[in-house]
Each structure stands twice: as C-alpha cells, then as structure tokens.
Chains A and B, each alone.
Chain A
Amino acid sequence: MFYLMLGFCVVWVCHFAYLTVIDRQARQLRRRLDARVNAASDRA
C-alpha cells in the first residue's frame, strides 16, 4: 500500500509542479505586458 500511494503521489506532484511553473511564468508575462501597456499610455 505504501509503495502504491508513493507512486501515485509522485505522479500528481510532478504534474502539478510543472503546471504551477507554467502558470507562474504566464502570470509574470502578463505583468510585464501590463507594465508595458501602462508605460505606453503614460507616454501618450
């Protein structure tokens, strides 16, 4: 039972870790884009 739970946990942890990394990068990109749009509107 221990090894079965360990196996399933490893799978879900790996998948969610990678999804979290992608999500964080998407948020950072969104922030950079917003900052750029704000800077452009300030200049205008």
Chain B
Amino acid sequence: MRRLLLALAILLLIVSTWIGLTQGQIDPLQRNILYVHVPNSVCALLCFVVVLVASVGYLATAGQTWDLVATAAAEAGFVFATILNATGMIFSRAEWNVWWTPSPRLVTSAILWFLYAVYLILQVSLPGAQRRAARLCAVFCIIAFLDVPLVYLSARFIPDIHRPNFSFDSAWQTAALMLGMTGTALLAGGLIWLRTSLLRDSLRLEQELLR
C-alpha cells in the first residue's frame, strides 16, 4: 500500500512536470520552477502542521506514537523546506539576479529551515531519559511553529519582492500545478507513514533486545 502510494506520487509528479514543460509552459522559461517550488513549499508547511499536532498530542497523552509521527513529519518537512529554500534561491537568481535578498518571506523561510534543523538535532542529542527529551522536543516544536504563519503571512502584509500569490493564463498551467500539489502531498503522506512505521519497528526491536 505504501509502495503504491509512493509510486502514484512519483507518477503524478512526472505527469505534472511533463504537462508543465510542454502544454502549460510559463514565459519566461525559468518561471516554470514554480511547478516544483510551490507544491514543495505548501507541503513543507503542511508537514510542520502535522509536527505541531503530533507534539501537542504527545504533551497531552504521552503516547509514543505521537512522538514518532512528530519526528517523521519533521524529517519530511525538513526535506521539503530544503527544496523550498533551494528552488527559491535558484528562482531568485534567474528572475531577480540575486541568490538571496533579505525580504520578509525569504528571511522567515530561512529561519524556518534552521528551526527544524535544530529540532532534528535535538531529537537525537538531548541527554537524559527518552520521555524527558521527547517532551522538551515537543515544546520546542510548538515554539518553532510560530514561524510557519509568519512565512505564509509575511508577503501578504509586508511589502516584499516575493509575490504573495499568482494567477495562471491557461487551464494546462493550473492542471500542472494541481497535479504537482497532489503528487507532492501524496509523497509527503507516504514518507511520513513509511518513516513512522520504521521508527516504531526499530524502537520495538531495541526494547526487545534490552529485555
């Protein structure tokens, strides 16, 4: 089932890329990066919403599954946030002739990447009991999430080089973006599912070995 989900996601991403680069090409050519930049950005933020929900769930119930889901979603979100920043920089270089500029959305996106990098480092390096470390990570995660609405709202309320929204000229372009969104969302869901079950199995094995 999980393999099927990932295969479907990759298929949708290939179809989206093909439609985007043939039927729904945006002029000038470099703007077609939007077909990967936007879905990956949206999925990064969605993954961080999952991390927030799982962290709150862990603090409320102390159930280990919440902690595993938070770790898995944070890892996937970090990968998507890396793509968000990398494709954003490439687009910026092609469109505005600079790799990076201190605009509100670019700064908040960079801060977001660093915050979740710190979260992943904390997950593996906090000393002491596992439960205490997981609780500290959950609290850190709730604080780190404050940057997510800032990323979304910054370009809407503060004058920014980054456009807050965009419109397409043709139905092909909308279709390419929607397929890209669906494919990336399926990929994110599949990755979180796969990673959570892997973490759970690994934890069970370690607990059995300790007995």
Q: Is the interface of B mostly helix, strand, loop or mixed?
A: helix
Whether the Cβ atoms of A6 and B90 lie closer than 8 Å is yes
- Which of B101-109, B144-152, B197-205 contacts its partner? B197-205
**Chain A residue with Cβ nearest B40:** A11
Whether the Cβ atoms of A14 and B94 lie closer than 8 Å is no
Query: Which residues of A3-40 are within 8 A (CB) of B?
Result: 3-4, 6-8, 10-11, 14-15, 18-19, 22, 25-26, 29, 32-33, 36
The answer, among B17, B83, B194, B208, for a CB contact under 8 Å with A10, is B83
User: Residue among B17, B75, B76, B87 with the most chain A CB within 10 A?
Assistant: B87
Instruction: Check if A44 is an interface residue, CB within 8 A of chain B.
Output: no
Known A7-B33, A19-B6, A29-B205; further 19 A-B contacts with Cβ < 8 A: A1-B29, A3-B33, A3-B93, A4-B30, A7-B36, A7-B86, A8-B17, A8-B36, A10-B87, A11-B40, A11-B83, A11-B87, A14-B82, A18-B79, A22-B198, A25-B198, A29-B201, A29-B202, A36-B209
Whether the Cβ atoms of A7 and B29 lie closer than 8 Å is no
Whether the Cβ atoms of A14 and B191 lie closer than 8 Å is no
State A11–B91 Cα separation when bound (angstroms). Answer: 13
State A33–B33 Cα separation when bound (angstroms). Answer: 43
On chain B, the residues within 8 Å of A1 by CB distance are 29
Closest CB in chain B relative to A13 CB, distance in Å: 9
Q: State the A residues within 8 Å of B (CB).
A: 1, 3-4, 6-8, 10-11, 14-15, 18-19, 22, 25-26, 29, 32-33, 36
Whether the Cβ atoms of B33 and A4 lie closer than 8 Å is yes
Q: Can you list 20 pairs linking A and B with CB atoms under 8 Å apart?
A: A1-B29, A3-B91, A3-B93, A4-B29, A4-B32, A4-B33, A4-B94, A7-B90, A7-B91, A8-B36, A10-B83, A10-B87, A11-B36, A14-B82, A14-B86, A18-B75, A25-B202, A29-B198, A29-B205, A36-B205
Whether the Cβ atoms of A22 and B195 lie closer than 8 Å is yes
State A18–B6 Cα separation when bound (angstroms). Answer: 13
Q: State the B residues within 8 Å of A (CB).
A: 6, 17, 29-30, 32-33, 36-37, 40, 75-76, 79, 82-83, 86-87, 90-91, 93-94, 187, 191, 194-195, 198, 201-202, 205, 208-209
Closest CB in chain A relative to B129 CB, distance in Å: 24
Known contacts A22-B194, A29-B198; A7/B87 CB under 8 A = yes
Closest CB in chain A relative to B2 CB, distance in Å: 10
State A7–B76 Cα separation when bound (angstroms). Answer: 19
